[in-house]
């Protein structure tokens, strides 16, 4: 669907279910899209970090995007991650995403390379001019090892290069400064940036980000409980901040599943991604809980912990 601007609401980064042999499980992925839409989400972000995009070959990325676009079937916009080291490689992904029917693109600053702020601006401008789709900047210092400065984002917002920001920096103070620079929570509509959408990736402080004036959220654990994030979002839109905060607390407790994997055996990222996928398996949405190679899979004890977290949050495992 043509994306309304600015994009608002809950836009989960869609997990990528895999088969036992490590290929994209399109049937599970289609069910996952239905699960998310049934939860009331306002958009889908395919091929993000939570989608394990960095683990997928180009062929697998194409399969994922085709499946999500097909399953969404125009009911909500589909944002496509175009994650790669530098501009030329990102543009290749962007063209592929446009062909498959993505409604918007999400790109990081260059990584692996060491890139100056001026060069980062050139990077985003080139992507925008190469493929005619709304472009979101993805600020993810934990992976990219660069923080997008408020000055840079403002500049690219105001000149129309960027349609929005997905802020996964965890730096809510910097986000607040950006919102104020763009006109403030009430004044942004009349501010300097045309229809600029601010989505937080900080899934534990969504009530706070919405209070500050963010437009929406891209919550990894929104795969598991999309309806919870939609309730949180709707309460915030209604100004019912106590309800929003209470729902956020329930989701914070649910999020504790990310530490299910044993710390001495696997990384925290693998533990988090594995817990989301096993939760979806336990809920009957997808077939397998395994993450992409070389990540260590959760063991049975860890999966049991995931199941406990689901029940404690009022969700119902069916396996």
Site for a second copy in 233-272 (CB under 8 A): 239, 241-242, 245-246, 248-249, 252-253, 255-256, 264-270
233-242 LR contacts (CB < 8 Å, sep 24+): 233/9, 233/10, 233/42, 233/206, 236/206, 236/207, 236/210, 236/211, 237/210, 241/207, 241/211
Which residues, 119 to 178, sit near a second copy by CB under 8 A?
119-120, 122-123, 126, 142-145, 170-173, 176-177
Segment lying near a second copy (by CB under 8 A), choices 27-35, 57-65, 223-231, 280-288: 57-65
Which residues, 28 to 47, sit near a second copy by CB under 8 A?
none
> What number of chain residues touch a second copy (CB under 8 A)?
75
Segment lying near a second copy (by CB under 8 A), choices 24-32, 53-61, 189-197, 227-235: 53-61
Nearest C-alpha neighbor of 165 from the set 177, 176, 157: 157
* Between 1 and 253, CB nearer to a second copy: 253
Secondary structure (3-state) at 110: coil
Q: Is 98 in the site for a second copy (CB under 8 A)?
A: no
Segment lying near a second copy (by CB under 8 A), choices 39-47, 62-70, 105-113, 218-226: 105-113
The total of other beta-carbon atoms located within 10 Å of residue 308's CB is 14
Which residues, 61 to 80, sit near a second copy by CB under 8 A?
none
Edge-to-edge, what's the strand order for the sheet holding 197-200?
A: 9-10, 216-217, 197-200, 164-167, 135-139, 104-107, 78-81, 44-46
Site string for a second copy, 198-237 (x = CB under 8 A): ----xxxx-xxx-xxx------------------------
Can you read off the two tokens belonging to residue 247?
A: 């729902």
* Between 76 and 182, CB nearer to a second copy: 182
* Between 14 and 179, CB nearer to a second copy: 179
The dihedrals phi and psi of 62, each to the nearest 5 degrees, come to -60, -45
* Between 49 and 67, CB nearer to a second copy: 49
- Smallest distance, a second copy to C-beta of residue 139, A: 14
Distance CA 165, CA 178 (A): 11
| CB crowding 67-89: b at 16 or more within 10 Å, else e | bbbebbeeebbbbbbbbbeebee
* Between 60 and 76, CB nearer to a second copy: 60
């Amino acid at each position: 669907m043509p994306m309304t601007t600015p994009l608002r609401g809950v836009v989960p980064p869609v997990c990528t279910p895999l088969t036992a042999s490590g290929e994209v499980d399109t049937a599970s992925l289609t069910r996952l899209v239905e699960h998310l839409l049934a939860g009331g989400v306002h958009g889908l972000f395919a091929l993000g970090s939570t989608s394990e995009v960095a683990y997928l070959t180009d062929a697998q990325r194409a399969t994922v995007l085709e499946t999500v676009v097909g399953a969404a079937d125009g009911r909500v916009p589909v944002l496509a991650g175009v994650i790669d080291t530098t501009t030329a490689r990102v543009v290749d992904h962007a063209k592929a995403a446009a062909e498959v029917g993505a409604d918007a693109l999400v790109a990081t600053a260059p990584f692996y390379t060491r890139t100056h702020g001026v060069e980062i601006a050139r990077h985003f401008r080139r992507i925008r001019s190469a493929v005619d789709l709304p472009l979101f900047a993805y600020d993810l210092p934990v992976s990219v090892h660069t923080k997008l400065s408020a000055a840079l984002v403002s500049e690219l917002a105001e000149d129309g290069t960027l349609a929005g920001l997905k802020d996964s920096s965890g730096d809510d103070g910097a986000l607040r400064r950006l919102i104020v620079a763009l006109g403030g929570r009430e004044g942004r509509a009349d501010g300097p940036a045309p229809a600029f959408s601010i989505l937080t990736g900080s899934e534990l402080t969504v009530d706070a980000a919405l209070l500050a004036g963010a437009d929406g959220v891209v919550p990894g654990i929104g795969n598991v409980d999309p309806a919870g994030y939609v309730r949180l979002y709707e309460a915030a839109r209604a100004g019912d901040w106590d309800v929003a905060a209470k729902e956020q607390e329930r989701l914070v407790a649910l999020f504790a599943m990310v530490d299910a994997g044993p710390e001495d055996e696997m990384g925290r990222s693998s533990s988090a991604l594995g817990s989301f996928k096993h939760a979806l398996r336990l809920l009957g949405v997808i077939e397998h809980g395994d993450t992409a190679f070389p990540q260590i899979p959760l063991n049975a004890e860890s999966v049991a912990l995931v199941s406990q977290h689901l029940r404690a949050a009022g969700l119902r495992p069916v396996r």
